[in-house]
Amino acid sequence: MARKMISEGRGEEILPRAACQIFGPPDVITAYRFDSLTRRLADDDMFSSDFSEDELKQKLGHVHVPALLVASADDEYVPRTVDASALCLRMAEAMAAGVAEAAECLVLEQGGHGVRGTQAEAYFVEGVVKFISKLNADADGPCLSPLTWEVRLAGALRDRAASLPAGQPLLVALTGMPGSGKSRTSQILLRLLQPDCFVLQMDGFHTKMADLKCRPDAESTINRRGAPDTFDVAPLREALQMIRSGPSKVKLPCFDHAKGDPVEDAMSFDRDLHRVVVVEGLYLLHREDGWHDIPDLFDYKLYLDADIEECIDRVKERNKVIPGYTPQEIEQRCEEVDRANAEVVRLTKGAADLHVGPKVPLTQA
């Protein structure tokens, strides 16, 4: 009935009392409001637990300011089968603010939908005060900052894509040294540009470990894995060409860190949907070791500016989770391999159309 009334241009008219009573007092609801609250993926369907990850990103990805997500575990409007904590975390991760670690979750054990009771109210107020205090923290303390240059960059990419003919995506290279924040930035852009954005990671084009083991210098090559000559550039070139002017859908690989190898056909580019394609990787502006024509396949080339020492320190910290290596071995590999790769990447920064990053003046982004 609500959908029929909306189609007839009567969306702001009141539904019969029987429909209004489904939602309780004040027992008055318009056809539009009823549809918005009950239809899947309607305007007000923002928090459903049955959303896929992509649907959550489409609904919440635009949130780029610090956000506190609060839920009651005993909310009377939420089925008991829904895990409020897990849903809050999924929602935070779907936001651009979540990728930037500026979204937090607070779950009240009791209080219901209206946060009723002195204990629930006190817990809620305490959580809000703590969250707000982080926004105003000193530089040496915890701080939650809104995204700035990333939002401006997303807007610029959206405008560039809109100027291209239908079916022709904007191919964007996002490069920078190891540890500069490429993956984080690409995921923020993905959420800000949902559903029109597709992110492809260069890591999906690593040469497979089995093939590296067949090389005459296998031991040295495996130790240097991540250097320019340890990637399979020909399939990357073919993939970029197909995205630019190929079939309507293109299957693409991703890198499985648990297996340590690429996984074929793990992702799908859709020409009818994806207007911006962000390719993230180290050597997209490199012109040696078989990469000579790769930079020419991009419409717009971005370099993520960062301090090399800070980058190497981040890589050392990040690589501590790699099994089978001692802290000393991680330290040595970062200094010998990752630093060498960083220097190769740093030499390509002059080929970028735009330098971006937290330390680059906002006017440039």
Domain match, 293 and 191 both = yes
Residue numbers of the chain with a pLDDT score lower than 50? 365
Which amino acid, residue 360? V
CATH of the domain at 353: 3.40.50.300
* Residue-wise burial string across 45-82, b where 16 or more C-beta atoms lie within 10 A, e elsewhere: eebeeebeeebbbbbbbbbbbbbbbbbbbbbeebeeee
Residue 365 has a pLDDT of: 45
Residue 327 has a pLDDT of: 84
The Cα 203–Cα 253 span in angstroms is: 9
Domain match, 173 and 293 both = yes
Domain match, 98 and 179 both = no
When divided into structural domains, the chain yields a total of 3
Between the alpha carbon of residue 74 and those of residues 60, 66, 128, 202, the distances in Å are 23, 25, 19, 44
Q: Which long-range contacts (CB under 8 A, 24 or more apart) does 107-111 make?
A: 107/70, 107/71, 107/72, 107/73, 108/70, 108/71, 108/72, 108/73, 109/72, 109/73, 109/74, 110/72, 110/73, 110/74, 111/72, 111/74
Residue 362 has a pLDDT of: 56
Residue 153 has a pLDDT of: 96
Q: In angstroms, what is the C-alpha Rg of the chain? A: 24
- What is the value of pTM for the model shown? 0.89
Residue 140 has a pLDDT of: 65
Residue 247 has a pLDDT of: 95
Residue 150 has a pLDDT of: 95
Domain match, 60 and 41 both = no
Q: Domain residues for 347?
A: 149-364
The Cα 221–Cα 229 span in angstroms is: 9
